[in-house]
Amino acid sequence: ETGVTQTPRHLVMGMTNKKSLKCEQHLGHNAMYWYKQSAKKPLELMFVYNFKEQTENNSVPSRFSPECPNSSHLFLHLHTLQPEDSALYLCASSQGGGAPRFGPGTRLTVT
């Protein structure tokens, strides 16, 4: 149990579908992150929320839309994705400068 949960764990979607990834942290942290992990590439930071305010949008295409309704929940809304968006999407949380704690990830396949 990492204290950070993600649902669903696996998702297959067509290019015209709309879906959402959910992340919840039970650690009382004040910052949450979305990272993308593709084969042979480093973990890529997508979005950062500090105290529910988005502080970074790392040049992510608009087909990815984050939402952070409170400091414990983070969503990633997906629409009109491309096959190259297939990857492992990892949520993480941290308290200030502490080490981010990762969730188990959602394995996304776009067909």
Q: What is the DSSP string of 16-81?
A: T-EEEEEEEE-S--SEEEEEEE-TTS--EEEEEEETTEEEEE-S--TTEEEEEEETTEEEEEEES-
Residue 106 CA to residue 96 CA, distance in Å, equals 25
User: Quick one: which of 1, 16, 40, 69 contacts another protein (CB under 8 A)?
Assistant: 40
* Total residues binding another protein (CB under 8 A): 27
Only segment of 20-28, 59-67, 70-78, 90-98 that touches another protein (CB under 8 A): 90-98
- Phi, psi angles (nearest 5°) of residue 7: -140, 145
User: Quick one: which of 23, 64, 66, 103 contacts another protein (CB under 8 A)?
Assistant: 103
- What is the smallest separation between the CB atom of 105 and another protein, expressed in angstroms? 6
Q: Looking at beta carbons only, is 16 or 40 nearer to another protein?
A: 40
Q: Which residues contact another protein by CB under 8 A?
A: 2, 4, 31, 33, 35, 40-43, 45, 48, 50, 55-56, 58, 90, 94, 96-105
